[in-house]
Amino acid sequence: MQSNWDALKLWGKDIQRIEKLTGGTANDVWSVRIGNKIAVARFGRRSDADLDWETKLLKYLAKAGLKVPIPFPTLDGRMFASGLVVMSKLEGVPPQTSEDWRRVAKTLKQLHSLTTHWTQRPGWVSSTDLLTIEKGTKIDLSKMPPDGVERCRGAWAKIQSKTKSVVHGDPNPRNIFMNEHQVALIDWDEAHLDAPDLDLALPHNAADLNVHDYDKALQASAAWEAAVCWGDDYALKRLSEVRTIESQLM
Matching fold, domains 6-88 and 98-248: no
Q: Higher pLDDT residue, 14 or 67?
A: 67
Give the phi and the psi of residue 166 in degrees, each rounded to 5.
-70, 130
Please determine, for residue 1, whether its predicted confidence score (pLDDT) is greater than 50. Answer: no
Q: Report pLDDT digits (tens) over 150-170.
A: 999 999 999 998 799 999 999
Pick the CATH number of 6-88 from 2.40.50.100, 3.40.50.1370, 3.10.105.10, 3.30.200.20: 3.30.200.20
| Confidence bin at 248 (pLDDT 50/70/90) | low
Q: What is the pLDDT of residues 41-58, one digit of tens each?
A: 999 889 999 999 999 999
Q: Give the per-residue pLDDT at 23.
A: 56
State the pLDDT at residue 53.
98
Domain residues of the chain, as ranges? Answer: 6-88, 98-248
pTM: 0.93
CB-neighbour burial class of residue 210 (10 A; exposed 0-12, middle 13-18, buried 19+) = exposed
Nearest to 24 by CA among 221, 241, 234: 234
Please give the pLDDT value at position 169: 96
pLDDT tens track for 202-245: 999 999 999 999 999 999 999 999 999 999 999 999 999 999 87
Region of 197 please: left (phi>0), alpha (psi -120 to 50) or beta. alpha
| Residues 6+ away with beta carbon under 8 Å from 45 | 26, 83
pLDDT tens digits, one per residue of 57-104: 999 999 999 999 999 999 999 999 999 999 999 999 999 999 999 999
Residue 246: pLDDT band by 50, 70, 90 thresholds? low
Q: What is the pLDDT of residue 174?
A: 94
Architecture of domain 98-248: Alpha-Beta Complex (3.90)
Beta bridge partners of 96: none
Whether residue 25 is predicted with pLDDT greater than 80 in this model: the reply is no
DSSP 100-134: HHHHHHHHHHHHHHH-TTPPPPTT---TTGGGT--
pLDDT at 86: 97
